[in-house]
Structure 1
């Protein structure tokens, strides 16, 4: 068959189109579930502040105790679940019985281990509180132990949830684990709502260590644990539908966990190092709350655990929605490129992930920085002084939030190569930084400690990118640096314009005056956010278009293609079926599509997060246990043609828009067309960066491999 005919066949192949569509659907579904869960998480956090107050010692005490289950689980078992159990479940799912016998034994073992661990840790709650806090007096220590006893049973349910998630994902069921955390948040919100209805909000009835009782503990801490229990229980419904016939099975000799544990030892060490450092930092973070509890009435407010928790949730949101979802999809391509020793394909996937996610991450960082004041006011239950504490902390974290996503994407390259040792070295360097920094921070005035910890994490984000890039250059030769930097610079220009626009809007709302309208109440703060944020986003998108940031098209294509359908769509032809008058362009398109992976059914969602990134928020990070690669993606099920595939495309989405039928179109359809111009118009506008295959840029000879 001639090259042209092969090109036509590849171009018209429904397999590559199905693969791309599956990618888009999986990423969009994951992002939607995460977005709704995070939004409800913010509602829960806001309601907690309304109920207890942002500057309350009770709030700081509860947050510290509620963080313990997540820290203990990740420290003891998180790395094991990710690095050891995931590959074993994948292999078992390919057995004739779909892994029923093996998974039954594995789940029996996991339940026994997690139950024993939870019981022991709960019995040691007083000791655990003493180790993880600093300066607590007797009343605060007593309440902290009580909160811990209510919250620590979450460890068992976290472990069971992680186990069930991997089993479901190994059998192609992704949605339940994505949406179950939503119910968790709803249960916690219900408890806090009852608290406000029965005991009153903190503004009208301040809740202190002296007037706290058992009923209040049940509604706050008890419902928090109940939410995790319900979240886990919901997964048994889809598990039952798999008809695996799971039942308690004992006898674990010869099931292969020993060999798997050796493979996962580096990932486990990474988790241990990360969590031990995090544990010490959080111990230092409890100092301001202890000082505030002993301070006389009328003392200036001090930022404590609650401020750091809310700020970290806000700063982590864009990363968890955009970067984790995109990295999850791209990880499959990275894994296959690594399996084929396809350095160009691996580099292209990394470059694409860094550039595409940056479109959203850069704007998010700018938005958090500019809108920090009204956000702080909104989450402070209407107290300007507390709002200022949150705004300062959030601003410090937002400065380096893009680095959080950059390092996460870089780490996926190491894991795709089954290299868990390099992430351990990166985490070891960060742990040393965190331990040394936290030790020095404890000697600062109490009012500066939380700000200093936020700065410490920002420095760690930058350091992690530098170290990861150093190791990646040894693997990939180069990182497509000029192209990535060029894109980031143009996004930065757009971000500056967006920041100026947002600043003007906030100035009109009186954000820069102590008696300004924005600082009157929560409603005024929310109104300013609702006005400034769309203005900033609109200016940002327009400037991205002005500066020809092509990655905007790649990021928005799945969303717009899903929700916007041009008029006359019935007559619309796709690039795969449309006749082409440019054979060379058609051949190039076919060359790109021929490098796409074959469809393998439901797209797996991979997130091999083993705690590499310093976690500030104490909430259970379900992204780390949400999904696993399919059997085909780990290599054994790859067909020979797939093993010998060409390098992966450097573009995430399709390169050419669909040929649209003539006729009237909706305003949204016109907007979609404007977001990415046809090839001829692109040529007229000009491209400011090389758009060919990674590693072949003639303008950067030093970049050639």
Structure 2
């Protein structure tokens, strides 16, 4: 990568890393506040995640994949794209307002569909939460549109740093919640003893954080000096190409996220089937939608911190290469991004499997049996971690060439597989096994998407440095497996394979075990990469070393 691209990736990755760390802290505090395999945890998780899922379902793919090339082209105009961007933001705001209003009005049927088998009490609480969280859809969209304008203008940092503010606000609300109402382990919070004050500090502050995440981006947007203002009238400004691409991308997003919602709906079934004792404690440790999302948070971490940061910067370069009909530059950028990203994603896959138990304990609310169940979900879902990034980057190669039709076809095939799997899981398996099967489906669909994109891209542009990419992955996997053996030894020495061992005492000991074991595994990985000649590590760590040196 060129130095400017590496610097931009480093800035984005640092912001994303801090945001993810704070996101982890937030997730841990949620388990302290309301537990993990509990009714209140699942009700909150469903209501709080649906706005983001619905936003991505409706418009996320269009904003993320299509707008950047169009803004880059408009930036060549004498006004640096100011008129185009003003009209674009105006149109986006109006569309988002309309969509959000419709979704909020449909909150009751949406929750009833997504909570199959739930009791009336569970549904009523989920609807209450949803009426507070669903307005987040507008602000997620606003954050994405403004952020993509900043990305297209080369101001990458703000977009990745804004979620930090979101997490800080949500964490503050959780701290107040725990201080005022006590942790779940000491004072179980149930449908029967829940109060409006608890709703404000848990649910309301979550929405406040999303609002702040969007509005903070207007500060760096103003510093661009474009003189943006509301502008109406969208004829003749070049939106036709974006609309054409947006149609395919919108269809891709709709299909992908309908399939994802089908999996979420299946994962929500165990909440209604879980037995709860009269005191509010959980008598059955059955994984639900909260456990699935906690595992998903972990397995998506390497893609979010490394893969997405690298891909976002290189997407601009691939789009420019495609526009100039420079196939070699396109292939070089794609190959580089896939090889460098695998240094993190493959290692993290192995690390998640090795330390699934302590990680599950961290998210258990301090209940060891719950930690064991969550750890099992993490083990299953971790297999798909590297393929999430490879599928994403291969897909971006098509978007860079303004081909949104191929990703649509790929997503149709993957979604058909996903929906069939979701229906089969819901009908064939008992509730205690459903989330494990859904986690396996997460991994399987990423693998399937990677294979489909591979064959489609090879047919379109020929060899895209496949042998070099596979060779790098093979060396990185070998080094990761050696590191994994080191991690197993470290965990065994800490008593991680004994239910009475140090990692299973509480959330703090689990965290310390992951930190100590992670460092040990990381050191072995560094040595193993030298042995297996993993050259890509230098490309990944170089920008960070240079930045620290300066």
TM class by shorter chain equals over 0.9
1:216, CA displacement in angstroms? 0.8
2:475 to 475, 490, 494: 490
1:288 to 262, 270, 284: 270
Query: What does residue range 266-665 of structure 1 map to in structure 2 within 5 Å?
Result: 266-292=248-274, 299-443=283-427, 444-564=429-549
1:128, CA displacement in angstroms? 1.2
Can you list the C-alpha shifts for 1:314-340, whole angstroms capped at 9, x where unaligned? 110011111112222333443344344
Aligned to 2:114: 132
Matches of 2:26 and 2:531, distance apart in 1: 39
Matches of 1:509 and 1:95, distance apart in 2: 62
Aligned to 1:44: 26
Can you list the C-alpha shifts for 1:538-585, whole angstroms capped at 9, x where unaligned? 1111011012222222222222222247xxxxxxxxxxxxxxxxxxxx
3-state secondary structure, aligned to 1:399:
helix
Contact persistence 1:81–1:162 (CA under 8 A): yes
Contact persistence 1:122–1:152 (CA under 8 A): yes
Matches of 1:404 and 1:170, distance apart in 2: 24
Query: What does residue range 22-33 of structure 1 map to in structure 2 within 5 Å?
Result: 22-33=4-15
Matches of 1:249 and 1:386, distance apart in 2: 53
Aligned to 2:49: 67
Under a length normalisation based on structure 2, what TM-score does the superposition of the two structures give? 0.95
1:248, CA displacement in angstroms? 3.1
Matches of 1:83 and 1:32, distance apart in 2: 22
1:83, CA displacement in angstroms? 5.1
Can you list the C-alpha shifts for 1:285-304, whole angstroms capped at 9, x where unaligned? 11011111567776321001
1:346, CA displacement in angstroms? 3.1
- The higher-RCO structure (CA 8 Å, 6+ apart) is 1
Correspondence 1:245 to 2:227: yes
Greater CA drift, 408-417 or 325-334: 325-334
Matches of 2:492 and 2:424, distance apart in 1: 38
Greater CA drift, 493-502 or 445-454: 493-502
1:518, CA displacement in angstroms? 1.8
Q: Report which of the two has the higher share of helix.
A: 2
Say what the alpha-carbon RMSD is for the aligned residues: 2.0
Contact persistence 2:65–2:399 (CA under 8 A): no
Under a length normalisation based on structure 1, what TM-score does the superposition of the two structures give? 0.74
Matches of 2:283 and 2:124, distance apart in 1: 24
Can you list the C-alpha shifts for 1:629-658, whole angstroms capped at 9, x where unaligned? xxxxxxxxxxxxxxxxxxxxxxxxxxxxxx
Aligned in 2, Cα 1:330/1:86: closer, same or farther, shift over 3 Å?
closer
Aligned to 1:158: 140
Matches of 2:472 and 2:65, distance apart in 1: 34
2:189 to 207, 212, 217: 207
3-state secondary structure, aligned to 2:23:
helix
Residues matched between the structures, number: 547
Matches of 1:298 and 1:43, distance apart in 2: 23
Contact persistence 1:374–1:511 (CA under 8 A): yes
Contact persistence 1:339–1:417 (CA under 8 A): yes
Aligned in 2, Cα 1:125/1:540: closer, same or farther, shift over 3 Å?
same
3-state secondary structure, aligned to 2:274:
helix
Query: What does residue range 140-219 of structure 1 map to in structure 2 within 5 Å?
Result: 140-219=122-201
Matches of 2:79 and 2:155, distance apart in 1: 17
Contact persistence 1:57–1:293 (CA under 8 A): no
Greater CA drift, 113-122 or 170-179: 170-179
Matches of 1:319 and 1:532, distance apart in 2: 22
1:116 to 92, 98, 106: 98
Contact persistence 2:414–2:445 (CA under 8 A): yes
Greater CA drift, 333-342 or 421-430: 333-342
Greater CA drift, 338-347 or 522-531: 338-347
Query: What does residue range 669-684 of structure 1 map to in structure 2 within 5 Å?
Result: none
Matches of 1:298 and 1:96, distance apart in 2: 64
Greater CA drift, 519-528 or 313-322: 519-528
Aligned in 2, Cα 1:298/1:34: closer, same or farther, shift over 3 Å?
closer
Matches of 1:99 and 1:554, distance apart in 2: 34
Can you list the C-alpha shifts for 1:419-459, whole angstroms capped at 9, x where unaligned? 11111111111101110000010021101000000011111
Can you list the C-alpha shifts for 1:185-240, whole angstroms capped at 9, x where unaligned? 00111111110011111011000111111111111111011001111121222233
Matches of 1:106 and 1:465, distance apart in 2: 32
Aligned in 2, Cα 1:176/1:478: closer, same or farther, shift over 3 Å?
closer
3-state secondary structure, aligned to 1:400:
helix
Greater CA drift, 513-522 or 144-153: 513-522
Aligned in 2, Cα 1:343/1:251: closer, same or farther, shift over 3 Å?
closer
Contact persistence 1:125–1:145 (CA under 8 A): yes
Matches of 1:545 and 1:230, distance apart in 2: 44
Larger Rg belongs to: 1
Unpaired stretches in structure 1, ≥5 consecutive residues: 1-18, 566-705
1:28, CA displacement in angstroms? 0.3
Matches of 1:440 and 1:533, distance apart in 2: 37
Contact persistence 2:245–2:403 (CA under 8 A): no
Contact persistence 1:83–1:263 (CA under 8 A): no
Contact persistence 2:377–2:439 (CA under 8 A): yes
Aligned in 2, Cα 1:185/1:255: closer, same or farther, shift over 3 Å?
same
Matches of 1:27 and 1:99, distance apart in 2: 24
Matches of 1:455 and 1:123, distance apart in 2: 34
Matches of 2:150 and 2:313, distance apart in 1: 18
1:160, CA displacement in angstroms? 1.7
Matches of 1:498 and 1:133, distance apart in 2: 41
